[in-house]
Chain A
Amino acid sequence: AQKITQTQPGMFVQEKEAVTLDCTYDTSDQSYGLFWYKQPSSGEMIFLIYQGSYDEQNATEGRYSLNFQKARKSANLVISASQLGDSAMYFCAMRESSYSGAGSYQLTFGKGTKLSVIP
């Protein structure tokens, strides 16, 4: 089973509107972290936001917020007031805490969602 699932291969949003990018995850760990990265067409990976499994409040970073629903194992990224520069691939990733093998070190990535912002 996939550990990170991003069900939206592509999304369109009108400029200045809000958009939600979906991410569901699968883990048996109690302590884990969820990350979102942005990859513009230039190719670099840009860290956007982090949510810890024990964090009581949803993470926010400027126009980015994370809708974290632990019971549903979902960590959706919300981008408010979309801008043309938000057009990019967005990846959800998870780091688990189990100290065995690569589990505690690697990020497991979803396949990404391509967001296109329409003027």
Chain B
Amino acid sequence: NAGVTQTPKFRVLKTGQSMTLLCAQDMNHEYMYWYRQDPGMGLRLIHYSVGEGTTAKGEVPDGYNVSRLKKQNFLLGLESAAPSQTSVYFCASSSNLGPRPNQPQHFGDGTRLSIL
């Protein structure tokens, strides 16, 4: 079972370059998320999507854009990379929340991004 797949796993960019991180899930989940993880900070939500064609901002959205054209894919874009965006990026997905918030988020293996 693939679960949540992130590509690429590693990338080095120069300041000002752009790139797109791809997340794909095969669990038919409605909700998808992008987080960043920095040392000593835990994970912080960048953007999320509650369904195909919809996206919303999370806690730290500045400098990022996202798109969800297909239910199974969630793209994270950096239009003009900055050194402050050096981080490990995680994509996650979860099924419908329902009345109780009991659905765990399933995470990809992460993308390690370095901006020089």
Residues of A within 8 A of B (CB): 4, 31-33, 35, 37, 42-47, 50, 52, 54, 91, 93, 95-97, 102, 104-107, 109-112
Contacts and interface: CB of A to CB of B under 8 A. Distances in A.
A96 B104 CA distance: 13
Contact of B101 (A31, A42, A91): A31
Nearest to B32: A105
B33 interface: yes
B106 A33 contact: no
A106 B48 contact: yes
| Closest 7 pairs (CB-CB, A-B) | A45-B107, A109-B42, A33-B101, A95-B101, A106-B45, A47-B104, A109-B43
Nearest to A105: B48
B41 interface: yes
Interface residues of B, number: 30
Contacts of A111: 40-42
Given A43-B109, A45-B107, A47-B106, A52 B100 contact: yes
B97 A105 contact: yes
Interface of B: 31, 33, 40-45, 48, 50, 56-59, 88, 90, 92, 97, 99-102, 104-110, 112
B59 A106 contact: yes
A49 B48 CA distance: 23
A97 B101 contact: yes
B72 to A, nearest CB: 18
Given A45-B90, A91-B43, A107 B100 contact: no
A41 to B, nearest CB: 12
Given A47-B107, A52-B102, 14 more contacts: A33-B102, A35-B104, A43-B112, A44-B107, A45-B92, A45-B107, A46-B107, A47-B105, A52-B101, A54-B100, A91-B42, A96-B101, A104-B101, A106-B33
